Amino acid sequence: MKTLRTEVAVIGAGTAGMTGYRAAKAGGKRTLLIESNVYGTTCARVGCMPSKLLISAADAAHTLHAASGFGVHAGEVRIDGKAVMARVRSERDRFVGFVVESVEGYPAEDKIHGHARFLSPTRLQIDDHTVVEAERFVIATGSTPIVPDEWRAAGPRVITSDEVFYWDDLPESVAVAGTGVIGLELGQALHRLGVRVTIFGRGGSVAQISDPDLLDVARRAMTDELDVRFQTKVVKVEQQGEGLLVTSEDADGNLRSEQFAYLLSAIGRRPNVHKLGLEHTGLERDHHGIPVYDKQTMQCGDSAIFIAGDANDERPQLPEAADHGRIAGDNAARFPDVKPGLRRTPLAITFTEPQIVTMGASFAELCVTHTGCFAIGRVSFENQGRSRVMLQNKGMLRVYAEYHSGRFLGAEMIGPRAENIGHLLAWAVQARLTVGEMLDMPFYHPVVEEGVRTALRDLAVQLEKPPAHDCPCVDCTPAP
């Protein structure tokens, strides 16, 4: 058994681990980066990039279908599944290549391959070949898709997003479990590429939306196009021939069994904190087993251990993993003189059509932090000028601001160009603008942003009224 001594050990070479490694090195510390799997990160290999590649192919197919609404007829649309998947894989490999190249640029003596597990607060076991003794640690171990054991038992046709981007061809049919971000993004993309898709939602949630009024609009938008069955659970999965027999149960207890080529489990991801030997660190952990940590410094208690990225489950998105990693690596180098790092305004985008975006404080969060003291403005995109012009007139924006100060707090939206509007509004939240200041900004014509102005004007009117005796959260039941 080899023993290595270092100042900082970073566990996991994903986005958070790579930025953590670079920050600790920039802080002047001898740093080891430990990875148990292949290099390339979840984002580039099986996450953000390949999913957006698949969605772009689906958008191309959809544009052809939607063209007839403008009187433009493209003829018969033919989707070559092998060509679609070949582009997804080859472009994905290109992105992965850049990441791998970066890691290859790190000095060989800084990298160890193997699964890391804590033996004590200062020692790690790497597989069965090395013990690493370190003064400080960054846990950046990412997350893993959840698949219930009883589904897994039905064999290899039960898959997760990890497998989709290795397909050579598009399958005939896919059942998707989960109406979260992954279920809706991939479910809609596959549907638009000609795959028979049914999406099962055990409740009524739609991606990250928490505003009940918006949820209604979003459920309608999704069911208008897709076979989404809300309040319907997958209760049994059996292997049948080449595929699967999936039995579901709706809210009235009706059972239905259908054949699909695959079942895609998109019911969430679990932080990789369970096979890390955390019980040997003395760290306090929450009920999910995640060490209790400070969201500004990423420090676990007052220890020399920091946690970053999906591993801490705070905001499991790529830009957050990078920020967490930078803060954790920097503070590992500075320990014990840790300092708060830059945390940005929350921004989450679901790349469905219509796109879904939340930024700043969500409706559900405001119901806790601003009970009775936030106002709501809204706009529907159904009759919004530019949205109708583009035949994308679906969705709604709900904007929130604080009474008295008029400060803009956040928004939730499903609608056209939401990825861009989300950025605009997130910047306004971070700049601590008031609704009045936002309305003083320029708005061109005819643009979707004029819809934002309508919502802000509505919000300004609501802010003029005295706060309702009823908290606006009377209908604030937790998102199902």
Ligand X SMILES: Cc1cc2nc3c(=O)[nH]c(=O)nc-3n(C[C@H](O)[C@H](O)[C@H](O)COP(=O)(O)OP(=O)(O)OC[C@H]3O[C@@H](n4cnc5c(N)ncnc54)[C@H](O)[C@@H]3O)c2cc1C
Ligand Y SMILES: NC(=O)c1ccc[n+]([C@@H]2O[C@H](COP(=O)([O-])OP(=O)(O)OC[C@H]3O[C@@H](n4cnc5c(N)ncnc54)[C@H](O)[C@@H]3O)[C@@H](O)[C@H]2O)c1
Active-site choice (73, 287, 404, 445): 445
Q: Going by C-beta distance under 8 Å and a sequence separation of 6 or more, which residues neighbour residue 196? A: 172, 173, 174, 260
Helix 181-192 vs helix 212-225: crossing angle, to nearest 10 = 30
The DSSP 8-state label assigned to residue 473 in this structure reads G
Q: Is 142 marked within a binding site?
A: yes
Does position 182 bind ligand Y by CB under 6 A? Answer: yes
* Alpha-carbon gap, residue 305 to 328, rounded angstroms: 9
* Alpha-carbon gap, residue 410 to 429, rounded angstroms: 6
Q: Is 141 marked within a binding site?
A: yes
Which residue type occupies 475? D
For ligand X, the closer CB: 14 or 171 = 14
Report the b/e string of 263-283 with b at 16+ CB within 10 A: bbbbbebebbbeebebeebeb
Does position 178 bind ligand Y by CB under 6 A? Answer: yes
Phi and psi at 50, nearest 5°, equal: -65, -30
Q: Considering CB distances under 5 to 8 angstroms, the limit depending on partner class, which of ligand X, ligand Y, none binds residue 205?
A: ligand Y
* Alpha-carbon gap, residue 76 to 433, rounded angstroms: 50
Q: Going by C-beta distance under 8 Å and a sequence separation of 6 or more, which residues neighbour residue 283? A: 291, 292, 300, 301, 303, 305
Q: Considering CB distances under 5 to 8 angstroms, the limit depending on partner class, which of ligand X, ligand Y, none binds residue 6?
A: none
Q: Is 28 marked within a binding site?
A: no
* Alpha-carbon gap, residue 362 to 73, rounded angstroms: 41
Does position 394 bind ligand Y by CB under 6 A? Answer: no
Cis peptide before 316 (omega within 30 of 0): no
Does position 296 bind ligand X by CB under 6 A? Answer: no
Query: In the bound complex, what is the minimum distance in angstroms from residue 335's beta carbon to ligand Y?
Result: 29
Task: Compute how many other C-beta atoms are within 10 angstroms of the C-beta atom of residue 172.
Answer: 15
Q: How far is CA 9 from CA 21, 136, 305, 336, in A?
A: 8, 6, 10, 16
Does position 352 bind ligand Y by CB under 6 A? Answer: no
Which helix H or strand E contains 163, and what residues bound it? helix 161-164
Does position 174 bind ligand X by CB under 6 A? Answer: no
Site string for ligand X, 37-66 (x = CB under 6 A): x---xxx---xx--x---------------
Q: Which three-class secondary structure state does DSSP give residue 262?
A: strand
- Taking a C-beta distance cutoff of 8 angstroms, is the pair 355, 366 a contact? no
Instruction: Report the first-to-last Cα separation within the chain, whole angstroms.
Output: 51
Task: Compute how many other C-beta atoms are within 10 angstroms of the C-beta atom of residue 153.
Answer: 12
Site string for ligand X, 253-292 (x = CB under 6 A): -------------------x---x----------------
Out of 54, 197, 215, 266, which residue is the one contacting ligand Y (CB under 6 A)?
266
Does position 272 bind ligand Y by CB under 6 A? Answer: no
Q: Considering CB distances under 5 to 8 angstroms, the limit depending on partner class, which of ligand Y, ligand X, none binds residue 244?
A: none
Does position 125 bind ligand X by CB under 6 A? Answer: no
State which of positions 291-320 bind ligand Y (CB under 6 A): 316-317
Out of 6, 141, 198, 462, which residue is the one contacting ligand X (CB under 6 A)?
141
Task: Compute how many other C-beta atoms are within 10 angstroms of the C-beta atom of residue 304.
Answer: 19
The DSSP 8-state label assigned to residue 297 in this structure reads T
Query: In the bound complex, what is the minimum distance in angstroms from residue 418's beta carbon to ligand X?
Result: 13
Out of 62, 219, 229, 269, which residue is the one contacting ligand Y (CB under 6 A)?
269
Q: Considering CB distances under 5 to 8 angstroms, the limit depending on partner class, which of ligand X, ligand Y, none binds residue 183?
A: ligand Y
Query: In the bound complex, what is the minimum distance in angstroms from residue 192's beta carbon to ligand Y?
Result: 17
Out of 202, 370, 386, 398, which residue is the one contacting ligand Y (CB under 6 A)?
202
* Alpha-carbon gap, residue 384 to 448, rounded angstroms: 7
Q: Which of 427, 410, 418, 426 has the alpha carbon at shortest distance from 449?
A: 418
Does position 36 bind ligand X by CB under 6 A? Answer: yes
Does position 267 bind ligand Y by CB under 6 A? Answer: yes
Q: Considering CB distances under 5 to 8 angstroms, the limit depending on partner class, which of ligand Y, ligand X, none binds residue 141?
A: ligand X
For ligand X, the closer CB: 308 or 397 = 308
For ligand X, the closer CB: 20 or 472 = 20
Tell me if residue 445 is catalytic. Answer: yes
Does position 175 bind ligand Y by CB under 6 A? Answer: no
Which residue type occupies 323? D
Binding residues vs ligand X (CB under 6 A): 11-17, 34-37, 41-43, 47-48, 51, 115-116, 140-142, 161, 182, 272, 276, 309-311, 316-319, 321
Contacting residues toward ligand Y, per CB under 6 A:
177-183, 185, 202-203, 205, 266-269, 316-317, 349-351
Residues noted as catalytic: 445
Binding residue numbers: 52, 141-143, 178-185, 268, 310
- Enumerate the known binding-site residues for FAD: 52, 141-143, 310
